[in-house]
Amino acid sequence: MKEGKNIYQSRRDFVRNAGKILVALPVIALPVVLSKKVSASGNVWQIDPHKCTQCGQCKTNCVLTPSAVKCTHNFRMCGYCDLCGGFLRQGTKTISTAAENQLCPTAAITRTFVEEPYFQYTINEDLCNACGKCVMGCRDFGNGSLYLQINQDLCVNCNECSIARNCPSDAISRIPDKVQYIPKEKI
Amino acid sequence: MLAWHAVLFAQDRFPRPEFESGYVYPEHQMPLQRAPAWEYIDLAVLVCALTLASWLALKKRSRQGLVWLSVFSLAYFGFFREGCVCSVGSVQNVALALFNEGYAIPLTALLFFIIPLVFALAFGRVFCAGVCPLGSIQELVGFRPVKLPKAVESLMISIPFIYLGISVLSSATNSQFLICRYDPFVGIFRLDAPYTMIVFGSLLLVAGIFINRPFCRYLCPYGVLLNIFSRYSHRHLTITPAECINCRLCEDVCPYDAILPSDITRPVQEPGKERKRFLVSILLIPLFVIVGAILFRNLSPVFAGLNSNVRLAREIRAEKEDGVVAVSKAAIAFKEAGKTENELFEDEIKIHERFRMGSLWLGIFLGTSFGLSLVSLSTRTRRTGYVPHRGKCYSCGRCFEYCPVQKNNKATNEKS
């Protein structure tokens, strides 16, 4: 009787130990298999401005309200136009800073006079809600110096960016966190 | 189409002005990420919290300590770090990295995946006990535990296996991260989310008052892995600090149905009958594997719908063949982008192929799990005392205070 019990116990122990080894193996193997694919620094999400179609998903799909996506202005590409497609609503009768003329729904763009006939347009990121209307205006009628970027200071770096999942043009992807931005440059 | 391209790329319409007034270009603002060092602090906190949880559950046997640790984890990993970098979601990062070129998994995500598993292999599911913020928030609201009928319970605990399988399939094919998308509590941690997320999380919390830890038990995909690892744990929490006296006081206190009763009173069955049942269930495993593989391989077009490119291709094809106008934003963007339909369809075929392969493995995995769970039903260990079920036990420590046996005073026990 006693002997029989011992055999029974040792069989159990064998199954247990075999199971232990079986489940421990993948855990040991995983870092080895992935050793070439591990990066110590990690990734951040960013919009490729060349793929972006200003569909307006950035405004509504970010887990943050308001969105962590902000309009960025590359001043070196800007034409400093008086008749700015990014600032003025299409079909306005007068070129002025009057509210009814502004394209931006939150009045996040400030227009300041530089010298005849140039005006500087500055984005107030606190007001910007990433609707992309100005970006589309600047793309269609101007130099394309306005573009959307994920502000890394605000972004909470979700495991999967919920804007990326909904982005119709696949413009948002993970990039190494050494770079963090995909700036639009003058070619 | 051509005209549109002319618009898209003719973007240098106005030359850069030559200013005469000494105008200086403003800085091109690109603020960098907030201190990435936090991720390494997270790792240190994770290891410390796991060590503390193991000590509290196995050595100190303090439910109160575990509750306070849960409060801390909820505050730190939940509300302070806002629920991101979490072990539950890291399953997907690992799957994505394993099966895709060009994705480098962050070291922190890999370690967040591995460390709790190592602890589970050593000390059981101490991660669930007081480190996981998702578990903590539910543990803290579980005031009035009720038990579900056994049939419902055993049916519901199979959901996490399916959820794990589908979310690994989805992330391995680079489609989407389902676990993150349907994370119920991250919206509560951030205090900001779509209302559906908040409603789902709140409903789970309300349900959790009565059915403790509904997410952990019936959904958590990482819990499946911890469950498997914990079954083979080196050491594990015990209900009693010394020898079980079969007083049955702890019998009904576990809200997770994880206490295995002692069966010294159970009559011994005919060994031949049990052995036969065991053999039959072992022989049934290959059958389940084959059925699962065939079933899920045929279901692969359904799973392929998780991929946005496949959905887009289907929409475009429907427009081409049946004249259903494609109106989704993706379709509009596709038409603007100038990618040809053939490229899209070729892409779709490749993704479909990956899904077929993945679904096959998903079927094999689910078939094996189902078969093995049947085997475990037909094996009986003789227990001389009340012990926790190593797979199901969350090491929450609720049962400690119900055990009348005291440690280190065997003499007094004997005297009385």
List, for residues B250-286, the tens digit of each pLDDT value. Answer: 988 999 989 998 877 766 667 778 788 889 999 999 9
Residue B119 pLDDT > 50, yes or no?
Answer: yes
Which of B180, B182, B198, B368 is the best residue to mutate to test the A interface, defined by the most A CB atoms within 10 Å of its own CB? B180
Give the closest of A42, A114, A151 to B108, CB-based. Answer: A42
Residue B214 pLDDT > 90, yes or no?
Answer: yes
Question: A34 and B94: CB-CB below 8 Å?
Answer: yes
Question: A159 and B93: CB-CB below 8 Å?
Answer: yes
What is the overall mean pLDDT for chain B? Answer: 89
Whether residue B155 contacts residue B218, with contact meaning beta carbons closer than 8 Å, is answered with no
- Greater confidence, B36 or B41? B41
Question: B333 and A63: CB-CB below 8 Å?
Answer: no
> Taking the model in full, what pTM does it have?
0.90
Q: Shortest Cα distance from B64 to chain A (angstroms)? A: 31
Whether A67 and chain B come into contact, CB under 8 Å, resolves to no
> DSSP assignment of chain A, as one string?
-HHHHHHHHHHHHHHHHHHHHHHHHHHHHHHHHTGGGEESS-EEEEE-TTT----SHHHHHSSSSS-SEEEEE-TTT----SS-TTTBPTT-SS-S--GGGBS-TT--EEEEEEETTEEEEEE-TTT-----HHHHHHHHHS---EEEEE-TTT----SS-HHHHH-TT--EEEEETTT--------
Residue B409 pLDDT > 90, yes or no?
Answer: no
Q: pLDDT, tens digit, for every residue of B90-108?
A: 999 999 999 998 888 989 9
- The residues that bridge with A146 in the sheet, in sequence order, are A73
What is the Cα–Cα distance from B6 to A178, expressed in whole angstroms?
34
Whether residue B169 contacts residue B305, with contact meaning beta carbons closer than 8 Å, is answered with no
For residue B305, how many C-alpha atoms fall within 13 Å in the half-sphere facing its CB?
Answer: 5
The tens place of each residue's pLDDT in chain A, 187 residues long, gives 444 456 666 777 888 888 889 889 988 999 999 988 888 877 889 999 998 989 899 999 998 889 999 999 999 889 998 999 999 998 888 888 888 899 999 999 999 998 888 999 999 999 999 999 999 999 998 889 999 999 999 998 888 999 999 999 889 999 988 888 998 876 5
**Which of A29, A43, A51 lies closest to A167, judged by CA?**
A51
Give the closest of A24, A51, A177 to B33, CB-based. Answer: A177
Specify the pLDDT at position B269: 66
Cβ pairs bridging A and B (under 8 Å): 183
Specify the pLDDT at position B268: 67
Q: Any idea where the domains of chain B sit in the sequence?
A: 40-264+386-405, 271-377
Residue ranges of A 113-152 with Cβ closer than 8 A to chain B: 114-115, 118, 120, 122, 125, 139-144, 149, 151-152
Give the closest of A30, A65, A79 to B192, CB-based. Answer: A65
Whether A76 and chain B come into contact, CB under 8 Å, resolves to yes
Asked whether the CA dihedral A130, A136, A142, A145 is positive or negative, the reply is positive
Cβ count within 10 A of residue B208:
23
What is the Cα–Cα distance from B374 to B292, expressed in whole angstroms?
15
Question: A63 and B308: CB-CB below 8 Å?
Answer: no
What is the Cα–Cα distance from A140 to B53, expressed in whole angstroms?
59
By C-alpha distance, the chain B residue nearest A52 is B333
Q: What ipTM score was computed for the predicted complex, to two decimals?
A: 0.85
What is the Cα–Cα distance from A104 to A130, expressed in whole angstroms?
10
- Greater confidence, B13 or A129? A129
Cis peptide before A117 (omega within 30 of 0): yes
Q: How far is CA B6 from CA A139, A140, A147, B2, B15, in A?
A: 11, 10, 19, 6, 18
* φ/ψ of residue A44, rounded to 5: -130, 160
B5 band by pLDDT with thresholds 50, 70 and 90: very low
- Measured between its terminal Cα atoms, the distance across chain A in Å is 88
Question: B114 and A168: CB-CB below 8 Å?
Answer: no
